[in-house]
């Protein structure tokens, strides 16, 4: 008994030792990969935060201090005078309200229409599913500037009552900017939501169908509540995209009283001299709302991205 069990014991010990060594090698390789990942993330975070930090640093200094000591110096006072002057001279209170009027309806319309289209191509079986999804996705590959002239002429020749627009057409209206932003953002949102809805179990809608629920009830009462993390992530992104848009408002809105906040920085530019410290303060003011929204929805934003990537 002892002569036969000894070789077995030695063999089992060798196998256990090999397994322990293999696990140690794997743990060491994982640590090395994690170090590289952390280093990459730190470098990318620094690259993204340095411009914002430098703009904030410049905004806190008066122009005479940077002119006298240079932009890379630390001499001189630090105060919020540039922010106060930029707020009053640029008229940010009025332009912020214009941005809210444009951003909120555009985001809500984009998410609602994209969710309808995503439900149609992901949860309903018909032969044009892939075709429509490709069409919506391909629309994002076209640069928006290519359609600037046709869209401008279309808005110019689209007649509306003067009660709606003081120009008699769609120019100088919030509706034109909202419609174009919705049209260009709906493809991206449809693509993301359709992939998220495909990852949901088909048993949910099949059971609802057996219970007599129609398509609208399946969409509104079953699929929509399950897509809240995806809506939170997309809503955060869309607010940032549409709020920061500069091209379409400047193209369609020619009345300065209706321009969004991204164009308010133009009011801080002088005819013969530009105060870059004042411009930096105005740029930091425009960034604050997007930072607040992201910080408030950070948990939902990360949860939406994580769930969307892990399903399936």
Sorted by where each starts, the structural domains of the chain and their CATH numbers stand as 94-264+294-307 (1.10.3720.10)
User: Alpha-carbon distance 136 to 133, whole Å?
Assistant: 5
Residue 95 phi/psi, 5° resolution? -70, -30
Average pLDDT score over the chain:
82
Task: Evaluate if residue 307 carries a pLDDT over 80.
Answer: no
pLDDT class for 154, splitting at 50, 70, 90? very high
Q: What is the pLDDT confidence band of residue 308, given thresholds at 50, 70 and 90?
A: very low
Q: 271 or 276, which is more confident?
A: 276
Burial of 95 (0-12, 13-18, 19+ CB in 10 A): buried
Average pLDDT over residues 64-79: 83
Q: Is the pTM of this model over 0.75?
A: yes
Task: Please state, for a pLDDT cut of 70, what percent of the chain lies above it.
Answer: 85
């Amino acid at each position: 008994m002892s002569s036969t069990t000894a070789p077995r014991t030695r063999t089992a010990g060798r196998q256990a030792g090999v397994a322990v060594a293999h696990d140690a090698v794997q743990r060491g390789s994982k640590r090395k990969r994690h170090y590289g990942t952390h280093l990459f993330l730190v470098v990318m975070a620094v690259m993204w935060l340095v411009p914002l930090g430098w703009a904030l640093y410049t905004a806190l200094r008066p122009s005479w201090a940077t002119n006298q000591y240079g932009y890379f110096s630390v001499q001189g006072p630090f105060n919020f005078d540039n922010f106060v002057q930029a707020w009053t001279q640029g008229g940010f209170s009025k332009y912020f309200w214009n941005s809210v009027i444009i951003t909120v309806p555009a985001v809500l319309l984009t998410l609602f229409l994209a969710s309808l289209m995503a439900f149609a191509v992901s949860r309903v079986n018909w032969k044009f599913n892939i075709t429509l999804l490709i069409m919506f996705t391909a629309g994002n590959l076209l640069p928006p500037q290519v359609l600037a002239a046709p869209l401008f002429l279309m808005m110019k020749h689209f007649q509306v009552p003067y009660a709606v627009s003081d120009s008699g057409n769609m120019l100088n209206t919030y509706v034109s900017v909202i419609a174009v932003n919705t049209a260009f953002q709906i493809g991206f949102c449809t693509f993301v939501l359709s992939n998220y809805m495909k990852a949901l179990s088909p048993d949910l809608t099949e059971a609802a169908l057996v219970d007599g629920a129609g398509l609208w009830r399946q969409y509104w009462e079953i699929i929509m509540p399950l897509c809240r993390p995806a809506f939170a992530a997309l809503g955060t992104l869309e607010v940032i995209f549409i709020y920061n848009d500069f091209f379409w408002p400047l193209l369609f809105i020619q009345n300065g009283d209706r321009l969004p906040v991204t164009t308010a920085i133009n009011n801080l530019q002088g005819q013969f001299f530009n105060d870059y410290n004042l411009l930096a303060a105005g740029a930091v003011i425009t960034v604050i709302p997007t930072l607040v929204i992201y910080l408030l929805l950070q948990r939902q934003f990360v949860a939406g991205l994580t769930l969307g990537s892990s399903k399936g």
